Structure 1
Amino acid sequence: MGITKLADLIRSSCPDAVSYKNISDYTGKVVALDTSVVLHQFRAAAPSISPIIGVFFRTLTFLEHDIKPVFVFDGTPPEEKTAALKRRAESAGRSFSKHSGTASSLSRSCVELLKHLGVPVIWAPGDAEALCAQLVRDGTADAVASEDMDTLPFGANVLIRQLNAKRDSEVVEYSLPKLLDKLQISYEELVDLCILLGCDYCDKIPGLGPKKALGLIQKHHSIETVVLNINRQTYPVPQFWKYKEARKIFLEAPQTRVPELIWTEPDEEALVGFLCPTKHISEERVRRRMKTFRDSRENRREEREKERAAGSQRQTRMENFFKVTRKRKEALEVASSAGDTTKKPR
C-alpha cells in the first residue's frame, strides 16, 4: 500500500518536487529496487505467467541502458505490519501465513535468475524499502525504484516510479529535499504526516484527508499536538493507536552493512539452463532476447562514443575559433593603431 494518497498530495501541493524523465536519463546510475514490488507488478499484470520471466526481460532493459540495478529483498517485516500483510493477501486471493524470515521459493528463484544476469542482490533485515532508502542516503545508490511511496518517509532522497520496460514510458521522479523545502516541514514532520495519511504500520484517523493532515502538521508540527487540536468527534483517534511504534519504524530502521556491489556479464548458457526447463519460455526466445540485448547495448555505447567525440571536436573548433579571433583582433588593433598614426597632426 505504501502511504495513502501521498503521491496525489505531492503533485497538488508541491509539484516542484516532481519531475518527469526518460529511462535513458538514468544511464550510468545505480538504482535500488524493492523486489517484492517488482514481483507483485508482474503477478498482477500476468497471473498465468511466472513473474520470473518479467524480471528477466525488465532487468535486461535496465542493463541495455547501462543502468546498474540492485535488487533488495524483504527480511522479516515488523510485527506492526502483520495486519496490512494479511489484508493484502486476502485481497489478492491468497492465504496468509506469518512471515518467518525464510525466503520463499519465488524469492529463491529470483535470486538465482539475478545471479545468472550478473546483478547484485541484498537481503534486508526488515522491509526492503528501508534498506533501499539507506543505500541512497549513504551514496551507494542514486535512486530507489518502487511504486510504494513509503521509501520517502524511510529517508530516500530520490524515488522513481514507472521505471519499466515499456518503450517511451515516462519515469516519475520525486525529490525528498525539494519536498521538505517547498512544504516547509522537517523530515520528522513528514514521517508524522505519512502516519496521518495512512501507512502499513498502524491505523489512521478516520475522515482526516490529505490536505487537512498537511495543514495540521504545518501548523502543529507533531501528531501529539495535532491530536490535542482536532475535534475528536469529527476525527476519532483510534483506540490504542500505535503511531509511536510506526514513527520508530520509519526513523530508526535497522542499518545494514552493505557488501561491495559487483555487476558482471549475463551468463547466457546459465540463463537458458535455468529458464527454459521450468519457467515456460522457449530457448529460442531467450537466445533471441540475449542477442537483442548485446546488439542494443553495443549500439548505445557506440552512439555515446560518437556523442563524446563530437562534443570534443566542437570544443576544439570553439577553442580554435577564439584563438583565431584573438589573433585577428590583435592584427586589427595594430592596423588601427598604424592608421591612427598617419591621421595624427604633425
Structure 2
Amino acid sequence: AKPVTALALPPRALSVISPRLSRLCPASPPHPQIPTQILPETSRSRPVYRRLGTPMGIPNLLRFMKPFIEPVHIKKYAGQRVGIDAYSWLHKGAYSCSMELCMSPRSAGARRYISYFMHHVNLLRHHKVVPVVVFDGGSMPCKSATDEDRHKKRELSLVLGKEKLKQGNTAAAIDLFRKAVQITPSMAYQLIQILKTENVEFVVAPYEADAQLAYLATLDADQGGIAAVITEDSDLIAYGCTAIIFKMDRFGNGEEFIMEKTLETVKDGLCFQDFDQNLFTGMCILAGCDFLPSVPGIGTKRAYSLISKHKNIDLVLSTLKLDKRYSVPDDYIDSFWKTLAVFNHARVYDVKSKSLKHLKPLEERYLNYLAGDLDILGPYP
C-alpha cells in the first residue's frame, strides 16, 4: 500500500524545530493529497511546547457559545476526512503519565500518551473516518510573550511538584506535574513514528496547527481537505473553521460547533445573523487570546455586545478608546489589527502550489497596519 504519511516541512526546516524531528521526512513520496512542503529555514522559529492545564484559545468562549454547540458522535463523519489537532490529544494523553514525563521521561510509563492518542485514531478508523493529524510547527512571533510566561509557570510547577513528591504528598505532586509537563518535539517525533507505521496521514504545519486545519477545512477532500476538526482549542472558531468537534471522549461522543449554523441562528438571546466571519473573529480578539490580552473589563459577553451594537470593528475600537470606564493601552488598536491579520492571513501550506500562502488573500489595509512586517504572520525570509 502507498504510504499516506506526509510532512509539511523539509529536513532543514524541521531541524529548526528539533534535531530529532529532522529525521522524519519519509524516503518514499508522500501522499499526493498532501505533498511535501518547501519552507525556508528561519532562525526565528522556536520549538513549540504546550503546558498542561493552560486553557487553549479564547477564555470562556466555548461556555458563551454553548447554545450553539450540539452533541455529536464521530460516526456522523463516516466516509469523510477529519483533521486532528495533534497537540490537543497529546495534551490529554499526557495527563495519564505526567509524573513519568517529568521524573523519568525515558521510561515505558512515560509513553502512555501514545496509547491514548492511537486509541482515538483507531476509534475514528473503526467508524470509517479518515484521520488527518496536524502538528504545530514553528512558533509565531506574536506569541513569544505568552510562551515565555507559560514556560516560567511550568518551571515553577515542576520545582513545586518535586518538593511535594519528596514530602510524600503524591496527589499534590501529580497535580503540579500536570501543570509542569510539556508536549515536546521529542514526544511528537515518537508519535509520528507510530503514525507512519500505522499508515496514518499527518502534516507538520509551518506554524500554527490551528491555521493549517482551518485552511484544510476550506478544501475539497480530493485536494487534501477535511470535513471537520477535532480539537480542544477554541482558537479554531476565531480562525473561521467551518465544523469543529470539541471534547471528544474515548467512545466518539463530542460537542459540535458549525459556523454556518451559528451565523444563521438565534438562541438564548444571542444572535449572530448580522455578523460575518470578520466580525466574529473581532469579537474573539476583544475577549482576549494568546496573541493579545483583552482590555481589563472586557470579556466574551461584553465583546459580543460591542460588536452586536456597532457591527463595525473600527467603530467598536474608537468607542472603546473613548470610554473612560476602560483603560485601553496606547498600542492596543494597532495590536488588535495585527492580531486580526494573524487569524485571517496566517501563513499555511498551499496544496495546489506546493508553497506557503496566506490563509486568506492579504488585504491592502492590513499591509498598512503591518507596516511591511509580515513576519507576524509567520516568519518567511
| Alignment TM-score, normalising by the size of structure 2 | 0.61
How far residue 181 of structure 1 moved from its aligned partner, in angstroms, is 2.4
2:137 corresponds in structure 1 to: 75
How far residue 25 of structure 1 moved from its aligned partner, in angstroms, is 2.2
1:173-322 aligned at under 5 Å gives the runs 173-182=256-265, 183-184=272-273, 185-230=275-320, 232-241=323-332, 242-258=335-351
Cα-to-partner distance string for 1:62-89 (whole Å, 9 max, x where unaligned): 2122211111111112101112222333
Cα-to-partner distance string for 1:106-125 (whole Å, 9 max, x where unaligned): 12111111011110111211
Output the aligned Cα RMSD.
Answer: 2.2
Secondary structure of 1:33's counterpart equals strand
Q: 1:205 to 1:93 in 2, by over 3 A?
A: same
Q: 1:75 to 1:54 in 2, by over 3 A?
A: same
1:18 corresponds in structure 2 to: 69
| Alignment TM-score, normalising by the size of structure 1 | 0.66
One-letter amino acid of the counterpart of residue 208, structure 2:
D
One-letter amino acid of the counterpart of residue 258, structure 1:
V
Matches of 2:132 and 2:207, distance apart in 1: 17
Contact 2:205-2:348 within 8 A present in 1 as well: no
Cα-to-partner distance string for 1:159-180 (whole Å, 9 max, x where unaligned): 1012232x3x631000111222
Matches of 2:72 and 2:342, distance apart in 1: 31
1:284 corresponds in structure 2 to: none
Answering whether residue 125 of structure 2 is matched by residue 63 of structure 1, we say yes
Matches of 2:239 and 2:193, distance apart in 1: 28
Matches of 2:308 and 2:141, distance apart in 1: 30
Answering whether residue 218 of structure 2 is matched by residue 157 of structure 1, we say no
Contact 1:158-1:174 within 8 A present in 2 as well: yes
Matches of 2:94 and 2:312, distance apart in 1: 38
Matches of 1:68 and 1:26, distance apart in 2: 9
1:136-151 aligned at under 5 Å gives the runs 136-139=217-220, 140-151=225-236
Matches of 1:69 and 1:54, distance apart in 2: 15
**Count of equivalent residues:** 247
Contact 1:137-1:155 within 8 A present in 2 as well: no
How far residue 227 of structure 1 moved from its aligned partner, in angstroms, is 2.8
Q: 1:94 to 1:122 in 2, by over 3 A?
A: farther
Matches of 2:120 and 2:156, distance apart in 1: 25
How far residue 36 of structure 1 moved from its aligned partner, in angstroms, is 1.5
How far residue 258 of structure 1 moved from its aligned partner, in angstroms, is 3.2
Contact 1:192-1:222 within 8 A present in 2 as well: no
How far residue 232 of structure 1 moved from its aligned partner, in angstroms, is 3.8
- Structure 1 unaligned residues grouped into runs of 5+: 96-102, 260-346
Contact 2:81-2:129 within 8 A present in 1 as well: yes
Give % identity.
Answer: 28
How far residue 45 of structure 1 moved from its aligned partner, in angstroms, is 4.0
Contact 2:288-2:299 within 8 A present in 1 as well: no
Answering whether residue 202 of structure 2 is matched by residue 121 of structure 1, we say yes
One-letter amino acid of the counterpart of residue 339, structure 2:
A
How far residue 156 of structure 1 moved from its aligned partner, in angstroms, is 0.9
Secondary structure of 1:63's counterpart equals helix
1:332 corresponds in structure 2 to: none
Secondary structure of 2:238's counterpart equals coil
Matches of 1:89 and 1:205, distance apart in 2: 23
Contact 1:162-1:171 within 8 A present in 2 as well: yes
Answering whether residue 98 of structure 2 is matched by residue 5 of structure 1, we say no
Larger Rg: 1
Candidates 91, 96, 112, aligned match of 2:193: 112
Q: 1:258 to 1:122 in 2, by over 3 A?
A: farther
1:326 corresponds in structure 2 to: none
Cα-to-partner distance string for 1:312-335 (whole Å, 9 max, x where unaligned): xxxxxxxxxxxxxxxxxxxxxxxx
1:77-116 aligned at under 5 Å gives the runs 77-93=139-155, 104-116=185-197
How far residue 94 of structure 1 moved from its aligned partner, in angstroms, is 7.6
Contact 2:310-2:316 within 8 A present in 1 as well: yes
How far residue 56 of structure 1 moved from its aligned partner, in angstroms, is 2.3
How far residue 206 of structure 1 moved from its aligned partner, in angstroms, is 0.8
Matches of 1:157 and 1:85, distance apart in 2: 27
Contact 2:240-2:281 within 8 A present in 1 as well: no
